[in-house]
Amino acid sequence: MTERYTTVTAVLWRVLFVNLAVAVAKIALGYATGAVSILSDGFHSLTDSFSNVVALIGVSAARRPPDADHPYGHRKYETMASLAILVFLVVVLVQVVSASIDRLMNGSTPRVFPEGIALMSVTLIINIGVVWYELGQSRVLKSEVLRADAKHTRSDVMTTIAVLGALVGVWWGYPMLDPLAAFLVAGFIAHACWSIFREASGILADHIVIPEEDVRTVVQSVPEVLGCEKIRTRGSIDYAFLDLHLWLDGSTPLQSAHSVSHVVKDKLMARFPELADVIIHIEPPHKR
C-alpha cells in the first residue's frame, strides 16, 4: 500500500504541473479575446489543478496505516478527496452558467484569431494525453481519486472541443455560438459531477464491492465446506472488507474448523487481492 500511494502521489504531481500550464494559457487567451467560452474552459482547467492539490492531501491522509482510532485504516480519506473534487466542479458549474446567461442577455462579440484557435488545439491534445495517462494509472493502481481526477480532466477535453467549435463559428460570423458553447461546457461539467458523486457515495454507503456469487464460488471450492451465507462486502475497489458465515459439519473439531476457515480466507485473499481483511463466522448448516 505504501508503494501504491507513493506512485499515486507521483502521478498527481505530474498532472498538477501540466494542468496549471494549460489553465494559465486558456485564461490568458480568454481575457485577450473576451470569449466567455474560453474563459469558462480556462477556469474549468484551473479547478483541475485545485482538484490535484486536494487529491494530494487526501492521498497523504489515506496512506497512513490503521491505528487505535481507525482500525479499518484511513482509506476513505481518498474518497473524501474525490468528494472535494466534486465541490470544486459544482462551483465551476455555477460560474459557467452565470457567465453564459450574462453573455446571452448583454451580448458582445469576442475577438477570435487563428493563433488563439491553434493554442486551444494544443491544450486539447495535452488534455487528451493527461486523461489517457491518468486513467491508465488509475486502472493499474485501482485508485478512485485518480479516476475521479481523470473524469474531471475528461470533461475538460469535451469542453475544449466545444469551445473550439464555437471559436470557428464566431470567426465565421456567429457570435451567439460563444455563450451556447459555454452552456455545453456546463453540461459536460454536470455529467462529471454526477459520475464522481455516484462512485464516491457508493463507497461511503457501503455498496457491494465483490459479487456474492463470485465469493461463493471460491468458498465452496474448499472440500470441507458445506456452504456459506450472509456474504457481505464493502469498501472500495482497491481496499475492501468481506465477512461471511461458513458452514462446516457440526462434528468438526474446533482446531480443524479453524484451519479450514484459514484455507478459505487465504483462497479469498488470493482470488481478490483488493481484500484488506476477511472475517469468517463458523457454524453448522441450517436444518431444512
Based on the fold, state whether residues 163 and 238 are members of the same structural domain. Answer: no
Based on the fold, state whether residues 103 and 218 are members of the same structural domain. Answer: no
State residue 260's pLDDT score. Answer: 93
State residue 148's pLDDT score. Answer: 72
Q: What is the CATH number of the domain that holds 245?
A: 3.30.70.1350
SS3 category, 110: coil
Q: Does the structure show a pLDDT above 60 at 188?
A: yes
- What percent of the chain has pLDDT above 90? 20
SS3 category, 278: strand
At which of 161, 182, 204 does a domain end? Answer: 204
236: β partners: 239
Based on the fold, state whether residues 199 and 218 are members of the same structural domain. Answer: no
At which of 153, 172, 204 does a domain end? Answer: 204
pLDDT band at 167 (very low <50, low <70, confident <90, very high): confident
Based on the fold, state whether residues 140 and 61 are members of the same structural domain. Answer: yes
Based on the fold, state whether residues 265 and 189 are members of the same structural domain. Answer: no
Highest mean pLDDT among 35-49, 60-74, 236-250: 236-250
Task: Choose between 202 and 182: higher pLDDT.
Answer: 202
Confirm if 241 and 276 have CB atoms less than 8 A apart.
yes
Q: Does the structure show a pLDDT above 80 at 252?
A: yes
At which of 134, 169, 204 does a domain end? Answer: 204
Segment 132-161, tens digit of pLDDT = 888 888 888 777 678 777 877 777 787 778
Based on the fold, state whether residues 200 and 134 are members of the same structural domain. Answer: yes
Query: Residue 127's closest CA among 236, 6, 23, 197?
Result: 23
State residue 181's pLDDT score. Answer: 74
Confirm if 64 and 190 have CB atoms less than 8 A apart.
no
Q: In what order do the strands lie in the sheet with 239-247?
A: 227-236, 239-247, 275-283
Based on the fold, state whether residues 179 and 56 are members of the same structural domain. Answer: yes
State residue 283's pLDDT score. Answer: 92
| Number of compact structural domains in the chain | 2
Segment 25-62, tens digit of pLDDT = 888 887 877 777 777 778 777 777 777 777 777 677 76
Q: What is the CATH number of the domain that holds 169?
A: 1.20.1510.10
Query: Is 261 inside a domain boundary?
Result: yes
State residue 109's pLDDT score. Answer: 61
Query: Is 288 inside a domain boundary?
Result: no
Work out the burial of residue 263: count CB atoms within 10 Å of its CB; fewer than 13 is exposed, 13-18 middle, 19 or more buried. Answer: middle
Based on the fold, state whether residues 154 and 89 are members of the same structural domain. Answer: yes
Query: Is 266 inside a domain boundary?
Result: yes
246: β partners: 228, 282
Based on the fold, state whether residues 198 and 219 are members of the same structural domain. Answer: no
State residue 1's pLDDT score. Answer: 55
Highest mean pLDDT among 103-112, 158-167, 222-231: 222-231
- Non-local (6+) Cβ contacts of 2 within 8 A are 63
> Over the chain, what is the mean pLDDT?
81
Confirm if 37 and 182 have CB atoms less than 8 A apart.
yes
Based on the fold, state whether residues 153 and 254 are members of the same structural domain. Answer: no
> What whole-number distance in Å separates Cα of residue 180 and Cα of residue 165?
11
Range of 220's domain?
212-283
- What cell does 218 get? 471460491
